[in-house]
Amino acid sequence: MAKKVKATLPDGSVLEVDKGIRLGELVAQIGPKLAKEALAGKVDGKLVDLSAPILGDSSVEIITFSSPEGPEIYRHSTSHVMAQAVSELYLGVKLGIGPAIEDGFYYDFDLDENLSPDDLEKIEKRMREIIRQDLPFIKEELSREEAIKFFKSLKQPHKVELLRERGDERVTVYKNGDFVDLCRGPHLPSTGKIKAFKLLSIAGAYWRGDEKRPMLQRIYGTAFDSKKGLEEHLYRIEEAARRDHRKLGRELDLFTLSDRFGAGLVLWHPKGALIRKIIEDFWREEHLKRGYEIVMTPHIAKLDLWKESGHWDFYRDYMYSPMEIEGQEYVIKPMNCPAHILIYQSRTRSYRDLPLRWAELGTVYRFERSGVLHGLLRVRGFTQDDAHIFCRPDQIEDEILGVIDLVLYMLRTFGFEEYDVYLSTRPEKFVGTVEHWDQSTEALKIALKDVGLGYQIDPGEGVFYGPKIDIKIKDALGRAWQCTTIQVDFNIPERFDMTYMGADNRQHRPIMIHRAILGSMERFMGCLVEHYAGAFPTWLAPVQVMVLPIADRHNDYARGVGDKLRAEGFRAELDVRTESVNKKIRDAQVQRVPYMLVVGDKEMQSNTVAVRDRDGKDKRGVDFDEFLWGLKEEIGQRR
């Protein structure tokens, strides 16, 4: 009689099963629906294939596509199928790596011929054949030396290189059909489990991300457990391309990125600069209401400051090389903190002065490699909506609560209602004491709990001087964008020997809170453009109203309408081109102008306007003063 072991399921129920039973067989006992959906499993918290045996009393969890780990396992298995298809179609291909990534997967190939989009169709066709064969994914364990010898025989030098760097004495490979790949797993039980996939694009990628190594060809793809899921994802990709801020930046005449000027440096056109001004004016207005004071600091400073702050040791790779000025080394500032500290130290501070809240729209410069630059989202010169709060230890929680309240108000005003919130904890390399780190981390946790913001712990991702809260906003397509960061810092005040005079007439150390709400103006603008697909809410639109006379005889009346709008503070333009009114309307809609006022004989006679919005809704015979009143109300509510 076979020995029995206990399998404890997530709901607490316990199954007695034969020792050595395969996980897939246990799933079949639980029920046919789960057996159909099962992709892999967890035994005592460790991810395993469904072929894994249960050898003792264990906690058991079944992984499906809806599990957190499910999509990654599903897509990584699909990347193996793609690699098998490429290996069969292009003899002599050398394989790189093929991980799952967010919403998809990729695989890197070392090929003599350049792949084209037409090749993707051929590869997809072969993948479908492999899926129809329902080949099992078979795991095998080898010694590292056996694996090196095996992949040498297959003439796979990149796999051999990876193996030589592995410290493991034993490694695993996965076979599906005649294809073998180095992999830790787990994988789907068979290729037939893959229901819907699509290869998306081809790009170049240096082996191991090193520009001195060979350039490989990277194929990106995605996979879902249903055709509907795939179609919805492909729609989101198409919609994201339509909203791409780089394309819309050109179409709407907002900004230029020019290699002639310098990679990663933004040239703002009048309309883009105007939107920035509107955002910045709102930012300053809200900060002043909440007790902040505005400061301004230069773009360069002595290198010694960055050595004192610790940035030179921890951040040097992202700083530009020092320049010599009159025998002193200066750097272009990568952040504003040391300048604000020197303002603090310009006079003696009392406990009665605190908190001090100093805000700056400070332009900083960081070296980003050309390969990671991306429109407005990753640049080398950017303006942070920066602020530093200097406070007593007993004020930390109230100050963090105040920051979070301001964050939520501003983000919601810009139309963002959904967020991913992360609490980043102590990294491996840090400065200060563990006690201070624990104290500041706890203060952030309490503040998040008090405002009811759910969050995830992001272990080890704090900055070198303190833990932080990161808030990622969700746009209209559900994509997350990093904007807000709130950091508690016990360490830099220590390094700069910052003090205040306490009620006990003794010197005490202030706490420093670093915070940015929108992150950088460049990234936030890119995010706004894509969130609204260029159709900014009326209060942000660079042109709020376009006045369109039907014929030349209506120009004077149209000018009068435009003059009245501008006199009331609205951003209005007049289109007196000798084009048809339909052409003028189309052009204004392409520019995403919120309102078009069409004026002709009837409007002149009745002192009215015909109102057309950018979505195509028409309303004729509108009293001009009534339109003005409605526009004022809309903009006053920042809509």
pLDDT at 531: 95
pLDDT confidence of residue 378: 93
Whether the link from the prior residue into 186 is cis, omega within 30° of 0, is: yes
Interstrand relation of 215-224 and 196-206 (parallel, antiparallel or unpaired)? antiparallel
If phi over 0 gives left and psi between -120 and 50 gives alpha, with beta otherwise, what is residue 399? alpha
DSSP 571-595: -EEE---SS-HHHHHHHHHHTT-SE
Tokens linked to 306: 């960055």
* Among 585, 601, 603, CA closest to 593: 585
The SS3 assignment for 89 reads helix
| Matching residue, tokens 């830099």 | 492
* Residue 601 CA: distances (Å) to CA of 54, 550, 607, 618: 85, 9, 10, 17
Query: Taking the model in full, what pTM does it have?
Result: 0.84
Domains belonging to the chain, first-starting first, are: 4-63 (3.10.20.30), 70-242 (3.30.980.10), 255-531 (3.30.930.10), 545-636 (3.40.50.800)
Q: Which own/partner contact pairs does 374-378 have at CB distance under 8 Å and 24+ positions apart?
A: 375/244, 375/245, 375/246, 375/249, 375/257, 375/526, 376/245, 376/246, 376/249, 376/255, 376/266, 376/522, 376/523, 376/525, 376/526, 376/529, 377/245, 377/522, 377/523, 377/526, 377/527, 378/264, 378/523
What span, in angstroms and rounded, lies between the C-alpha atoms of 622 and 483? 41
Q: Which two tokens stand for residue 480?
A: 């997350």
> If we measure between CA atoms, which residue out of 127, 114, 192, 181 comes closest to residue 154?
181
3-state SS track over 462-525 = CECCECEEEEEEECCCCCEEEEEEEEEECHHHHHCCCCEECCCCCEECCEEEEEEEEEEHHHHH
Q: Which residues are catalytic?
A: 337, 366, 384, 386, 388, 468, 514
Which residue(s) pair with 389 in the sheet? 357, 513
Instruction: Give me the residues paired with residue 319 across strands.
Output: none
- pLDDT of res. 223: 98
Pull the structure tokens for residue 154.
Answer: 């297959």
| Residue 440: per-residue pLDDT | 84
- Residues of the chain with pLDDT below 50 are none
Nearest Cα to Cα of residue 596 among 541, 523, 557, 546: 546
- pLDDT score for 1: 56
Q: Could you list the beta-strand ranges (E) of 150-235.
A: 170-176, 179-182, 196-206, 215-224
pLDDT at 631: 96
Q: Residue 506 class from Cβ within 10 Å (0-12 exposed, 13-18 middle, 19+ buried)?
A: exposed
CA distance 137 to 184: 12
Contact indicator for 411, 636 with CB cutoff of 8 Å: no
Q: Which helix (H) or strand (E) holds 187?
A: none
**pLDDT for the residue 2:** 67
Read off the tokens for 105: 């997967």
Predicted local confidence at residue 201, as pLDDT = 95
Q: Please, are residues 588 and 594 in contact by the beta-carbon 8 Å criterion?
A: no
**What pLDDT does residue 106 have?**
97
Over the stretch 486-539, which tens digit does the pLDDT of each residue have? 998 888 899 999 999 999 999 999 999 999 999 999 999 999 999 999 999 999
